[in-house]
Structure 1
């Protein structure tokens, strides 16, 4: 019966991932319906904490976007990328990493991908190289970003004071090392552009050849009056979240009482509640000080992405949590001894689930409680955390497709066998190095 239920779980996830958008969420709910009414499973607790974190953080990022702050940040990143085009294979990924680390979402990379593609192509550097590792870097930035739902979800699951700062201390440098390794992996990937027959054929087209020979031009961006103010407020919110995680003793104790979403039974505040309060308060401050209307915020692309993310996480994580809770004893008996003897093997399980879920936050919320149930210590769970970034393996994630679409040279592509696409080599190298580095740094710091 376990295998039938597991196959149903995988089928729902696979179908949902192909549907894109809210597909994972609605297929997860269909799976829940079958689990409850056909197999008689008791529903687990829904992932309300992760849903509210996503809602709060992305709504605040959308407010910054509506106020012009995101365009201002992208303009700064563009200046950095264009300033030294010969080293774009290294500069573009690290610029992307820090931008996404600050914003807490990989979706901001869409604005940088056309710039990376143009600069590299006009310098006769194969665009596949910087584009592939830049997309991977955008994803890796989320495992450690104080404003990402995945980092907040792991901190909430670990439930000890200082968890969020430990995640940042270990995962940010580990993922940076992963990005660096991925840059070297991409540095000689594919043929040199002047030797690529596809590129040479495109050069026979007048429009393409005129564009490629037109030189690198700085794009003109109109910065809204309140853009810098919005970025400053967003930065202060990040600082407050980091300080709250690093110094929990500075937070008020509200007296013993019933535990809830924002407070423990002893009266101490949970990081989940702090993140929600701080970020949405920052959103209010941005709207008030920059005179940004709520209607403008709701029309922002990040706000729309937030709605899809909340629905997806709700459905697929609730279904996965219900399956794991129902088969808890069997899973512990079959995996417990192996995982406790070889903790790194749990990273493989997290990596495989991340491929199917297409969401770092959903994978974190689905798999990390299983790690705790198997008896893995926090240092191991933080060490395997970068493995949730495996959504590049199947080339269907929007950031991958966007990179393919903006590359006018055709060098960034999906291979004949699907898995042999442009992102697989730098992505696998970056993830493996990030996980190994996280384990090593965990042993040093924790």
Structure 2
């Protein structure tokens, strides 16, 4: 019976992934309905905390975008990237990683990818190299960000055992090590651009050759008056969350009682509630100080992307959690001995599930509780946290497709066999390197 239930789960994920957008979420609900009414499985707790965090963070990031803050950040990044064009393969991923850590979402990198592609092309560096590792770096930034939904999910699962500072002190340096290893893996990837037959054929078109060397940095529209202020407010909010995460004693403490979404049983305020409060408070300040319209916020691309993420995570995590809880004994029996003797093998399970779910937060929420049930030590679970970045394997994630579309030379591509694409090598190297470094830093800093 478990194999039939697993086939339904896998089928819902695969069909939902092909539908894109809210597809994962709605197909997850179809599978959940089958679990409830056909198999009579008890439904698990829906991932309300993760959904609320996504809504709060994305709403604040969208407010910053509507206020012009995103344009300001992109121009700062553009100056950095154009200052050392010969080092774009190194600078590109470091900038996208930093942006994702700051904003808590990889969707912020859409504005950076065309700049990275243009700088590389002008310098006649194969754009596939910086673009591929930059996309991977932006995904790794999610598991190193203090305000990402995935990080918040880790905190809710490991409540009382792991603080935000524990995750950041391990995952930030670990992911940076993985990124540097990924940079090394793509430094000489593919043919040099000036020897690439596809690029040389394109250059025979005079219009294409002229467009390639056109400077797109000119004639930029002026920034909105509140652009810089919105970035400062967002930055202060992020720092405040990090500060509270490092020093929980700063928060008020209440008498022990029945837990809810905001307060734990021991009377401490949950980190998820802190993130939601601080982020939406920052959004309110942005609206008041920058005079940004709430209508513009609702129309921002980040807000739309966040709404899709909420629906997707709602359905797919609820479905996955229901399957896991109903079959927990069987799953623990199958994986228990292997994981207890070699805890690192649990990272493989995280990686495989993230390939299918296309979400670090969904993977964390669905599978990390199993790691706790199997008795894996919290430092090891934190070390394996970057393994949830397997969403590059099947080239359907929006950031991958955007990078391919922004590369006018055609060097960034999806291969004939689907998985032999530009992101596979840097992705495998970056994620595996991050996990390995995570175990090292968890041992040193815990």
Which range, TM-score by smaller chain? Answer: over 0.9
Aligned equivalents of 1:99, 1:172: Cα separation in 2? 13
Alignment of 1:122-137 (within 5 A): 122-137=122-137
Alignment of 1:402-421 (within 5 A): 402-421=402-421
Aligned to 1:351: 351
Alignment of 1:199-348 (within 5 A): 199-214=199-214, 217-218=217-218, 220-348=220-348
Question: Cα offset for 1:218?
Answer: 4.9
Aligned equivalents of 1:217, 1:307: Cα separation in 2? 31
Aligned to 1:392: 392
Native 8 Å contact 1:67 1:290 kept in 2: yes
Aligned to 2:150: 150
Question: Cα offset for 1:329?
Answer: 0.7
Aligned equivalents of 1:249, 1:276: Cα separation in 2? 18
Aligned equivalents of 2:407, 2:260: Cα separation in 1? 49
Aligned equivalents of 1:339, 1:219: Cα separation in 2? 57
Residues 342-369 of structure 1: CA distance to partner in whole angstroms, max 9, x if unpaired? 0010000000000000011111111111
Residues 293-316 of structure 1: CA distance to partner in whole angstroms, max 9, x if unpaired? 211110111111111011000000
Aligned to 2:41: 41
Aligned to 1:82: 82
Tell me if 1:62 matches 2:62: yes
Q: How many residues align?
A: 446
Aligned to 1:434: 434
Aligned to 2:182: 182
Residues 274-321 of structure 1: CA distance to partner in whole angstroms, max 9, x if unpaired? 111111111111111111121111011111111101100000000000
TM-score by length of 2: 0.98
Question: Cα offset for 1:217?
Answer: 4.6
Question: Cα offset for 1:161?
Answer: 6.0
Tell me if 1:16 matches 2:16: yes
Native 8 Å contact 2:164 2:245 kept in 1: yes
Residues 376-423 of structure 1: CA distance to partner in whole angstroms, max 9, x if unpaired? 111111011001111000011000000000111000000111100000
Aligned equivalents of 1:58, 1:217: Cα separation in 2? 28
Aligned equivalents of 1:213, 1:309: Cα separation in 2? 37
Consecutive unaligned residues in structure 1, runs of 5 or more: none
Residues 21-57 of structure 1: CA distance to partner in whole angstroms, max 9, x if unpaired? 0000000000000001111100011111111111111
Aligned to 2:378: 378
| Cα distance change, pair 331–219 in 1 and its aligned pair in 2 (3 A) | farther
Consecutive unaligned residues in structure 2, runs of 5 or more: none
| Cα distance change, pair 426–57 in 1 and its aligned pair in 2 (3 A) | same
Alignment of 1:79-118 (within 5 A): 79-118=79-118
Aligned to 1:172: 172
Native 8 Å contact 1:119 1:216 kept in 2: no
Aligned equivalents of 1:285, 1:364: Cα separation in 2? 31
Aligned equivalents of 2:16, 2:172: Cα separation in 1? 31
Question: Cα offset for 1:183?
Answer: 0.6
Question: Cα offset for 1:255?
Answer: 2.2
Aligned equivalents of 1:222, 1:38: Cα separation in 2? 59
- Three-state SS of the structure 2 residue aligned to 1:280 is helix
| Cα distance change, pair 73–419 in 1 and its aligned pair in 2 (3 A) | same
Bigger CA drift: 255-264 or 163-172? 255-264
Aligned equivalents of 1:321, 1:161: Cα separation in 2? 22
| Cα distance change, pair 114–405 in 1 and its aligned pair in 2 (3 A) | same
Native 8 Å contact 2:162 2:378 kept in 1: no
Question: Cα offset for 1:337?
Answer: 1.1
- Three-state SS of the structure 1 residue aligned to 2:343 is coil
Aligned equivalents of 1:22, 1:217: Cα separation in 2? 35
Bigger CA drift: 216-225 or 31-40? 216-225
| Cα distance change, pair 216–47 in 1 and its aligned pair in 2 (3 A) | closer
TM-score by length of 1: 0.98
Aligned equivalents of 2:328, 2:33: Cα separation in 1? 20
Tell me if 1:7 matches 2:7: yes
